[in-house]
Amino acid sequence: MSSLFNWSSLFSNTPITNGTRQLSVNSSTLKNDSQSLISEFEYRRNEIQTSGSSITVTPKKHNYRFKTTLKPKKTGLLLVGLGGNNGSTVIGATIANRNKLSWETRNGTQKANYFGSVTQSTTVHLGWDGSRQIYTPFNSILPMVSPNDLIIDGWDINNANLYEAMKRAHVFEPDLIEQLKPHMETTVPKPSIYYPDFIASNQGSRANNVIHGNCKKEHLEKIRADIREFKEKHGLECVVVLWTANTERYTTVEAGLNMTAEEILTSIDQNKDEISPSNIFAVASILEGAHYINGSPQNTLVPGIIELAQKHQIFIGGDDFKSGQTKLKSALVDFLVTSGLKPESIVSYNHLGNNDGKNLSEARQFRSKEISKSSVVDDMVAANTILFEDGKKPDHCIVIKYVPFVGDSKRAMDEYICSIFMGGHQTLAIHNTCEDSLLAAPLIFDLTIITELCSRIQYASAGTDNDFMAFHSVLSLLSLLLKAPVVPNGTPVGNAFMRQFGALTKLLTACAGIAADTDLQLEFFTKLQ
């Protein structure tokens, strides 16, 4: 029997419309018991064998079953860096959207929205209805948490209340800031961890809200207690801890320090210098059953933390938000290489005046950012051995300068030089003004919403009695939103934007029992109708 299922009867707060249409799925491979949705999916892939210059392709099929719990969990989000530009923007935007606020600017009246969020503001192609292409909102395919329903709190090394933090950030318009004041001024971030060696020395004057003492074990227990209290106070079923604080320097990765779960816990007990604040937050989250996402470029997710997450079956994701210049690069370089053009030189210059820029003005913190931004084109270059037959990568230079006057309105200037037909060159020069936090904040919502959704999805091999299993602890589906995605061992890192988007949307449609969309569209040039 086929299953015809409409989400709206269960979840009034979940968008299920495409314009004026409701999304229903009528499929013989879909079963619904009102608690869970079980779909069958035939996964087609190619098994590849290479020998010298020869490639042998063997098409393979694997049948999966996906089980998705339909009711979203009551979800809390804890931000490390709550009082920073991103944190105050996330809180303020949630309140503005929940209360449907509007405000006056010199360009007219603006209304609260979630533009820039993949889950809230993009659509997915379903197919052709005989006269036109049909798209549906991303968040109508499966029930998802609404950003408006998130419970949000967090930590910061500075004790400014969120109204003062929002004014200091200069992200929102004055009219909106004053409307948000009653909601924001009563919230003060929890004390955070401050180890001066890991962030720029110019951050010392901000650090007036820190957990006392020098014992890293005690700091770990304090953060664990904060997470437990937050979860119990609000009756939460899912908690996501997300780092959006200062970029740290890279920490040393070596045997005896952090290569195994046992080593990382022992190193914390022994108060070792190379245990960073973000290491403490990640370990605390995992031990308390909270998923952890690293939104900055430092190497928080060392092998020992990854192993710890696997042992506790907790999702982790990272590194570094992919929001403005790098997101454009991940789409543009893919376009150039796919067009048969050879990028030879990529020079990216940034200047910004927010506290992130101030922190990055010191060399060790800048190096963390440089690494995350420079690796974003590697998979696209490796995909074309015609253009890059010698394996040489493009010259890729990244510069970041702190210019206080521009505030959160980051300027990104890029020059791409490509070799083209018959020895010619094409140069693309792009000036990109990125309102930094207004691009990053929607990613924070998406990372949280997709993580919660994945906690409700399990898989098994079809046609077997195998129990359903959760996804790998390293949640690589979050790669769409991160510059330097951490992936499971042996998994190739992919940064091309549309391939990442396609992987995510195809999983959603597979879980919903919808046939995977194809760009081939045979019906337009064959007799298939």
Q: Which residue, among 263, 331, 338, 325, has the nearest Cα to 495 in the 3D structure?
A: 331
Q: Which of 25, 6, 324, 46 is nearest to 143 (CA)?
A: 6
- Alpha-carbon distance of 490 to 482, in angstroms, equals 19
Exposure string of 59-71, with b = 16+ CB inside 10 Å and e = fewer, is eeeeeebbbbebe
Strands (E), 118-225: 123-128, 133-137, 151-156, 190-191
2 Rama sector, left if φ>0, alpha if ψ -120 to 50, beta otherwise: beta
Which tokens sit at 464? 């077997």
| Rg of the chain in Å (alpha carbons) | 24
CB atoms within 10 A of CB 352: 24
**Residue owning tokens 């108060």:** 271
29, 1 Cβ separation under 8 angstroms:
no
Cβ contacts of 272 within 8 Å, gap of 6 or more:
216, 257
Residues with catalytic roles? 320, 369, 410, 483
Of 177, 184, 181, 182, which is closest to residue 105 (Cα–Cα)? Answer: 177
Rounded to the nearest 10 degrees, the angle between the axes of helix 436-454 and helix 85-98 is 70
